[in-house]
Copies of this chain bind each other. A is one copy, B any other.
């Protein structure tokens, strides 16, 4: 029960395979009479012809496959992006290949190489590090690539992100309005743009409020555990603060845990803001105050940008799209407590 090939259709329709190919390809249909087109189409339909994508890809060197590179599918941040991209791509007849790098640069490199060998048409990368050799390689070869969520130093690829500056501003505005002055920034791993951007924004925002933005620590990774460790260390050192602006929801969760271990309650003693508004942040208790980022939309936009590129409309160098964010005031922030001592 071998699949029906173009030759079979051609024979059945009484034409040459080449002609059948053109008849079936809307873009090359000029050189073929309307009658022949109709006949071939009919036969193809009747026989249930479905073109062999490998053979086509070999000849045309286009595969209609796009790879999406993410660090960890179990981080609820990414499924949203995946979903947005997946929908746009599949509507355009593209297939999405997902590869999970497990947060490991080496894995990322080999995965990307494997995808290239497989002839993917382009990449959407959500794992960018600030200095990123994999991206440099991609840029050197000229593979169409779009960055989402994180960007890199080189800035050679278009980037779809969110307005982190404003997101952090909103957090700081909110907290200062509640009377907080001693605000600690819990940043992300230094080799990511999100950590840099949010940390810079924090410093500037604090300064704009006439406060010092120097109270700052960082998690080793964007995980709950890293957040807890960082805050534990800060407490150990005797850092004094009434609020924490975390660079990420998971870090914020870890912070809350570290505080709880010390008997410090949130928000009564210390307020916390997260970042991203991951799905279940609103149902924790207390529900988490955080910044909503349009993750799904980012995925869609990244896909659209890449599609345009693949369609012959490359983006302006280093296009950056920053989507608007929304502050979600919930239960982990409260008016600063009157100092007891």
Contact = CB atoms under 8 A, between A and B. Distances in A.
A99 interface: yes
Interface in A101-140: 102, 111, 113-119
Interface in A62-91: 63, 65, 72-74, 76, 79-80, 82-83, 86-87, 90
Contacts of A90: 99, 111
Contact of A95 (B1, B82, B118, B279): B118
Given A58-B58, A76-B76, A280-B280, A100 B117 contact: no
B79 A119 contact: no
Contacts of A51: 117
A1 B139 CA distance: 13
Interface of A: 1, 50-55, 57-58, 63, 65, 72-74, 76, 79-80, 82-83, 86-87, 90, 95-100, 102, 111, 113-119, 141-142, 253, 279-280, 283-285
23 contacts: A1-B141, A50-B113, A50-B116, A52-B58, A52-B117, A52-B119, A54-B57, A54-B118, A55-B58, A73-B73, A76-B79, A82-B98, A82-B100, A86-B99, A87-B102, A90-B99, A96-B97, A96-B99, A97-B97, A253-B283, A280-B283, A284-B284, A284-B285
Given A1-B142, A53-B118, 16 more contacts: A1-B141, A50-B116, A50-B117, A52-B117, A54-B58, A73-B73, A73-B79, A73-B86, A74-B79, A76-B79, A76-B279, A82-B100, A83-B100, A95-B97, A98-B98, A280-B280
